[in-house]
Amino acid sequence: MSFILSIDQGTTGTTAALVEVESLNILKKCNKEFPQIFPKPGLVEHNLEDIWATVESTVSEVLNISNIQTKDIVALGITNQRETICAFNKQGKPLANAIVWQDRRTHQFCKEATTQHRESIKNKTGLPLDPYFSATKIKWLIENNTNVQKALKEDNCLFGTIDTFLLYKLSSQSSFSTEPSNASRTLLFNIEESCWDEELLDFFNIPKKTLPIVKSSFGTFGQTKGLSFLPDDIPISGILGDQQAALFGQAGFHKGMSKCTYGTGAFYLINTGTEVKRSNHGLLTTIAYQEEGINYYALEGSSYIAGAAVQWLRDNLKIIKDSSEIEDLAIKATDESMENIVFLPFFTGIGSPHWVSDSQAAIVGLTRDTENAQIARACLEGICLSINDLIKSVEKDMGQKLEELRVDGGAVINNLLMRLQSSFSEISVVRPQVIETTAFGAACAAAVGAKLLTKQDIAEKWKSDKVFNEETTAYHKNKQMKWTSYLKKIYL
């Protein structure tokens, strides 16, 4: 039997998975969390050595518990948190903590940009000028980090998203590359011309030589070399940003197919084919993947907070001991007790479709008889209503009602959450048998890149687990109206 090793480097942890090529079954997987660094409110960082340590430990553990021969690993795929930016030297040593996609330190720079610059950036990249994306973070490092400044003077500074850093380390510093699903999240990549854009590089004052080569998403990026936990010469044959990997793992290969991943945040993507679809309703235009030099595009909506809101109830309010307990608690709340309570989970700003980078979270409609059950359910409803705003924007841009939403991520095991999403959005919610679709999608990408499988093979092997078709009642419609009203009063 042959296997693909998938490395899924996420915001709160790293997962390594072994996927059997023929069946596409996940043999084993391991996850390890790493510390989040919050220097001050609005700032979020990661220690790159911590991230690399979790890659080494999860890969070592998954190989140990699977009891396979490393010679049977025929390809390696990478997927990653996307806009998070790394600065490291040519020896692969970090120059600074990674600045995470959630970080808002460049809010003022984005706010002060001219309308002309904003329009030019959006036309070229499909993205608004927002602290979410990588270029403003690189600019900040260049202007504020002495290690980066010194390395730039010595021609020993490299920038990249997490996939680039991992590839560089896995290949013993021999491959400095990325691919379009990640490059298109930087504010530096022209999504129609498929290249780093000279005008944008000048605007952000970023030297082109510090950025990686951009290759197609499927193909040979390099081989493993000089690692203590893997043998040499395993081809690294597929790389996708985490949300695009999830779309790929959901077999969302055709125009009109969509998915939503419920992780730390929630991310909705709909495949628009080879057409660059521009949004008029606050969504992003991005590259889903590039195959043999041809770009396949997507519209994307981003809710910065989803599972992180549940973690807040667990870690800060301590009304649950484990995230999995929220369903049993929330289900105790009746519609009548929830009529006026709205949870607005905007702890790190509002992303799509409203783009309010300095917003803060709120719970409104509380009374003296509000209990933990109501707060728990309001949290789940807030996640669904935030995602519903994305779905409705997509429907406006696509000019049609969406009938199906494929879902993935750890939170989708919560049946109440899925029922609420179906009810609020009036859509069929389809949960696949493999809910860890991000790691699975990276394995699928590596299989295509190594010519072990085709996209048709993957589509035929994809299977659903459960379909949620829930009634939309007056309660759901009224709650949606309250949600919209509070958004306008508080944030917009």
Q: Tell me the pLDDT of the chain averaged across its residues.
A: 95
Structural domain includes residue 332: no
Domain, as residue range, for 86: 3-243
How far are the Cα atoms of 114, 166, 417, 466 from residue 185, in angstroms, in the given order?
21, 17, 29, 32
Using the predicted structure, report yes or no on whether residue 1 has a pLDDT greater than 90. no
Structural domain includes residue 367: no
Distance CA 295, CA 136 (A): 25
Using the predicted structure, report yes or no on whether residue 141 has a pLDDT greater than 90. yes
Using the predicted structure, report yes or no on whether residue 275 has a pLDDT greater than 90. no
Task: Please compute the mean of the pLDDT values over residues 51-75 and round it to a whole number.
Answer: 95
Token pair belonging to 34: 């790493």
Task: Please compute the mean of the pLDDT values over residues 316-340 and round it to a whole number.
Answer: 96
- Looking at residue 351, its pLDDT comes to 87
Residue 233's region, left for phi above 0, alpha for psi from -120 to 50, else beta, is left
Structural domain includes residue 39: yes
Rg of the chain over Cα atoms, rounded to whole angstroms, equals 22
- Looking at residue 220, its pLDDT comes to 94
Using the predicted structure, report yes or no on whether residue 263 has a pLDDT greater than 90. no
Task: Please compute the mean of the pLDDT values over residues 395-405 and round it to a whole number.
Answer: 92
Are 375 and 314 within 8 A, CB to CB?
no
Using the predicted structure, report yes or no on whether residue 490 has a pLDDT greater than 90. yes
Distance CA 165, CA 119 (A): 31
Token pair belonging to 14: 């790293």
- Per-residue pLDDT band for 153 (boundaries 50, 70, 90) equals very high
- Looking at residue 44, its pLDDT comes to 94
Per-residue pLDDT tens for 96-116? Answer: 999 999 899 999 999 999 989
Are 314 and 425 within 8 A, CB to CB?
no
- Looking at residue 20, its pLDDT comes to 95
- Looking at residue 355, its pLDDT comes to 87
CATH code at position 165 = 3.30.420.40
Token pair belonging to 78: 């990478």
- Looking at residue 358, its pLDDT comes to 84
Structural domain includes residue 424: no
- Is the peptide bond between 353 and the residue preceding it cis, with omega within 30 degrees of 0? yes
Structural domain includes residue 136: yes
Token pair belonging to 296: 């396949």
Question: Beta strand 98-99 with 464-468: parallel, antiparallel or unpaired?
Answer: unpaired
- Looking at residue 34, its pLDDT comes to 94
Structural domains counted in the chain: 1
- Looking at residue 264, its pLDDT comes to 83
Distance CA 295, CA 291 (A): 7
Distance CA 439, CA 238 (A): 12
A 10 A CB-CB count for 181 gives 31
- Looking at residue 208, its pLDDT comes to 97
Per-residue pLDDT tens for 21-37? Answer: 999 999 999 999 999 99
How far are the Cα atoms of 31, 251, 430 from residue 28, in angstroms, in the given order?
11, 21, 24
Structural domain includes residue 217: yes
103 Cβ contact partners less than 8 Å away, ≥ 6 residues apart: 42, 43, 44, 45, 131, 137
- Looking at residue 62, its pLDDT comes to 96
Distance CA 359, CA 491 (A): 7
pTM listed for this prediction: 0.90
- Looking at residue 436, its pLDDT comes to 86
Structural domain includes residue 85: yes
- Looking at residue 392, its pLDDT comes to 96
Structural domain includes residue 320: no
